[in-house]
Structure 1
Amino acid sequence: MRKTLYIIGLSFFVFSCTSQKNVKQNASRTNKQVVQPKTPVAKTPSEKPKPQITHEGGVDFFTTNIADATKNNNTVSYGSIVSAKPAGYKVVKTYFPAVGQNFRQRYLILHYTALPDDKSVAVLTQQEVSAHYLVNNTGDNEIYQLVDENKRAYHAGVSSWRSDKNLNDTSIGIEIVNAGFRTDSAKTRVFAAFSDDQIKKVAALAKDIITRYQIPATNVLAHSDIAATRKQDPGPLFPWKKLYDEYQIGMWYDEAAKQTFLTQAQTDFTTRYSEPAFIFMIQTALQKFGYGLELTGAWDDSTKKTIEAFQYHFRPEKYDGIMDAETWAILQALNQKYPIK
């Protein structure tokens, strides 16, 4: 009996030791699997190969768009790629660029300097006002760049258009050397003309900027459009229609649409001009088009200046700030052509 118990106990001891050894071996294998080296994230089958980043002069460039242009996305860099340099770490571009990105530059704003060439350069480079470009009036083929397009220039000031405000953040500014205006004996503003050479420069420059940054026609504006109560530039002699007709730059109304609205507008102005509801409707139309205007139902000073700014741009033959049937018809035609999306 004792011999039988001894044999059973010995068998149990051998089995127990063998089991513990196997557990240790399995644990050892498990530990080895945990410390496997990290592998790079594999590309999904649908991910397209990305063009190479260009290296030049010690900086990186990426000049190809791999994003969906129909969503206004764009991965092109019109300059060197700016990257962080955190102490003790390396920033890599293994997965550069993400397709979900677009441009900061969403507006193009045009100004005049109201100064001659030399003073325009001095003020725009040495004082707390600036623009990305300055178009001179010296008859040469030069355009002065004053600010990097990727940086904010101080040209728009307090400004708004549609739902956007502080347009320095999202715009490129072009200043044009021009004397501005003088006031005649009847206290009417008399504006200075632009030279043909200047307009050709502005057109070429604007076309380049608009094309590169995909700036829509509704965002090519005068300083007076985005700051109607305090600015007049570039004034009624700036040829917006010429830029639209010959270079496809900016907005303009369709003549047929204007004539359609004009018939009804003439009736409205005969019978409803002084009605607060009618004034409110016109103010609403100006605000809908883009102007930052408070709706008061009265022909107040802000409304007059806003109408004046609108006329500078779209009815330069008459810029007295008084709404008439033709100005109203033009405004309606523009709202029909360029609705807010």
Structure 2
Amino acid sequence: MRKILYFIGLGTLIFSCTPQKNVKKSNYSPKTTSIQPKTVAKTPQAQEKPKPQITNDRGVEFFTTNIADPAKNDNTVSYGSIVSAKPAGYKVVKTYFPALAQNFRQKYLILHYTALPDDKSITVLTQQAVSAHYLVNNTGDNEIYQLVDENKRSYHAGVSSWRSDKNLNDTSIGIEIVNAGYTPDSAGKKIFVTFSYEQMKKVAALAKDIINRYQIPATNVLAHSDIAPTRKQDPGPLFPWKKLYDEYQIGMWYDEAAKQSYYDLAMADFATKYNEASFIFNIQTQLQKFGYGLDLSGKWDDATKKTIEAFQYHFRPQNYDGIMDAETWAILQALNQKYPAK
């Protein structure tokens, strides 16, 4: 019996190990849902333009090219060395330098007089708690003194404002001009000292360079008296604003035709409305709209008088008595039309 079982098992083993040519294979396979991969259209990526290289001069880095959008007043140029952090244990790299979204801190150019002679101007502006970025002397040479790095704040503007900005030391470059300022006459009127022709050529060249580099708009080229009208008079009514505008395209000035059209209307207003609170309020509003930091009181108060005086220093130097008249009112309206606040 055992032998019989042995041969049966042996035969089965041999059969299972031989090729199964005649055995039908099962074609069954479980059904699966066929998912075709979606064809994703490849969007060609805009190739980044290669950025200009950072210049390295004896270990000091500079970036002297603008790759941002000048229409947005964005600017990547560095007028000086690049200042970088040095965190302990880490390395700051400039793999992605510079970002396009940036502009200059220097938004304003403010002009002053020193009310001191040359030697005392230098001492005060370098040794005391007041300074400016530049000092224009009155010695007849071709030198302009730089006193403060343009990337740093100088202490020239003090408590100040223009339009929506305050504390303009933070955002301005200051130019001091050697000039004696003014002395009051017997009636108390301020008698100012003229600026020399050579000084004005220096001021024009310096201002033009700064304005061009930092893209400072005409509305932001101002007198110290514009940004602090209740306490400052400089550079006064003899500073040649119109000459700078006409010959160098520096700063603001009104159009004569616009002024004349407003003047014809102003004459009637001044004859009948001069002391009305609503009329005074309107004038104060226009002064504020132009840029002056003035409260709207509806009265001919001291702050309003000094603000009108500062405005006349800049735009109507023939008469700077601080009294609003038809011509001053017409000039103010012409300027607001030409330089609307944005």
TM interval, short-chain normalised = 0.7 to 0.9
Separation in 1 of the partners of 2:188 and 2:118?
27
Q: Secondary structure at the match of 1:174?
A: strand
Q: Which residue of 1 aligns with 2:10?
A: none
Separation in 1 of the partners of 2:131 and 2:150?
12
Provide structure 2 residue ranges, at least 5 long, that are not aligned to the other structure: 1-44
Determine if the alignment matches structure 1 residue 160 to structure 2 residue 154.
no
How far off its partner does 1:48 sit? 1.4
Determine if the alignment matches structure 1 residue 306 to structure 2 residue 307.
yes
Please list, as runs of the form range in 1=range in 2, the aligned pairs for 1:51-62 lying within 5 A after superposition: 51-62=52-63
Please list, as runs of the form range in 1=range in 2, the aligned pairs for 1:124-273 lying within 5 A after superposition: 124-273=125-274
Structure 1 residue runs of 4+, over 3 Å off? Answer: none
Separation in 2 of the partners of 1:45 and 1:287?
47
Separation in 2 of the partners of 1:209 and 1:328?
31
Separation in 2 of the partners of 1:286 and 1:164?
15
Cα displacement string for residues 58-91 of structure 1 (whole angstroms, at most 9, x for unaligned residues): 1000000000111110000000000011111111
Cα displacement string for residues 99-145 of structure 1 (whole angstroms, at most 9, x for unaligned residues): 00000000000000000000000000000100000000000000000
Determine if the alignment matches structure 1 residue 276 to structure 2 residue 277.
yes
How far off its partner does 1:45 sit? 3.2
The alignment of Structure 1 onto Structure 2 pairs a total of residues equal to 299
Amino acid at match of 1:326: E
Amino acid at match of 2:326: A
How far off its partner does 1:57 sit? 2.3
Structure of greater Rg: 2
Amino acid at match of 2:308: I
Cα displacement string for residues 211-242 of structure 1 (whole angstroms, at most 9, x for unaligned residues): 00000000000000000000000000000000
Separation in 2 of the partners of 1:142 and 1:209?
16
Please state which structure has a larger fraction of its residues in helix: 1
How far off its partner does 1:191 sit? 0.2
Separation in 1 of the partners of 2:121 and 2:82?
32
Separation in 1 of the partners of 2:46 and 2:331?
53
Cα displacement string for residues 41-61 of structure 1 (whole angstroms, at most 9, x for unaligned residues): xxx533211000000021000
Q: Which residue of 2 aligns with 1:23?
A: none
How far off its partner does 1:331 sit? 0.1
Q: Which residue of 1 aligns with 2:329?
A: 328
Cα displacement string for residues 273-328 of structure 1 (whole angstroms, at most 9, x for unaligned residues): 00000000000000000000000000000000000000000000000000000000
Q: Which residue of 1 aligns with 2:113?
A: 112
Separation in 1 of the partners of 2:47 and 2:233?
53
Separation in 2 of the partners of 1:154 and 1:225?
17
Q: Secondary structure at the match of 1:122?
A: helix
Separation in 2 of the partners of 1:87 and 1:275?
67
Separation in 2 of the partners of 1:47 and 1:264?
57
Q: Which residue of 2 aligns with 1:4?
A: none
Q: Which residue of 2 aligns with 1:11?
A: none
Amino acid at match of 1:233: D
Q: Secondary structure at the match of 2:265?
A: helix
Separation in 1 of the partners of 2:164 and 2:182?
30
Q: Secondary structure at the match of 1:203?
A: helix
Please list, as runs of the form range in 1=range in 2, the aligned pairs for 1:45-56 lying within 5 A after superposition: 45-56=46-57
Determine if the alignment matches structure 1 residue 88 to structure 2 residue 89.
yes
Separation in 2 of the partners of 1:122 and 1:145?
13
Separation in 2 of the partners of 1:178 and 1:45?
57
Separation in 1 of the partners of 2:116 and 2:294?
29
Instruction: Calculate the aligned-residue CA RMSD, in Å.
Output: 0.9
